[in-house]
Amino acid sequence: MEDHKIVQRNLALQREWYGEPLGDRVRRLVVAFNVSQAQLADVLGISAPMLSQVMSGRRAKIGNPSVLARMIMLERKVLTPDVASGAPEALQRALEDVRQSKPTVSRDSLPVNGAADDEAVVFPFLRRLADRRELSQAADVLGEDFPALAELLRRAGKGRDT
């Protein structure tokens, strides 16, 4: 199989496995944390060449679950107010926290039945962050550009008693 076809196949697999090409996710982290790919690779616990291969689609997956867990940790930290502010010390602290982490992936940390289990985790989390009105307003703001996220927020808000 020629290189172009391999890359296209790998990118399609990444979309299936990770929701989008890993290159897109990694580039967002590079921008959000104002670091190089090599620096990000160090934080994730992967070699820079391996990260480059995954980003370009020359490799389909991240084989080490801890590396993927660290990437998800960074994606979540981007949403915290101190990191979102872009304050250099907050960015460095978040990067160091993730670099020093020893994440594990176990059968207890992964959903079993897909969407229903995801909702059991995501909805209570969203409901702790915001009341029904705020979830609805956020859905209205996101609705046109991000309809799937908006629907998730609406569904989370409907189950809230407040």
CATH number of the domain to which 47 belongs: 1.10.260
Question: Tell me: the pLDDT tens digits for 76-87?
Answer: 999 888 898 999
Q: How many domains does the chain have?
A: 2
Long-range pairs for 142-146: beta carbons < 8 A, 24 or more residues apart: none
Where the chain has pLDDT below 70, the residues are: 1, 105-121, 160-162
Report if residue 66 sits inside a domain. Answer: yes
The reported pLDDT for the residue numbered 146 is 85
Q: How many residues does the chain have?
A: 162
Both 55 and 121 in one domain: the answer is no
The reported pLDDT for the residue numbered 50 is 96
Report if residue 78 sits inside a domain. Answer: yes
The reported pLDDT for the residue numbered 145 is 86
The reported pLDDT for the residue numbered 128 is 84
CA distance 27 to 22: 8
The reported pLDDT for the residue numbered 33 is 96
CA distance 111 to 55: 26
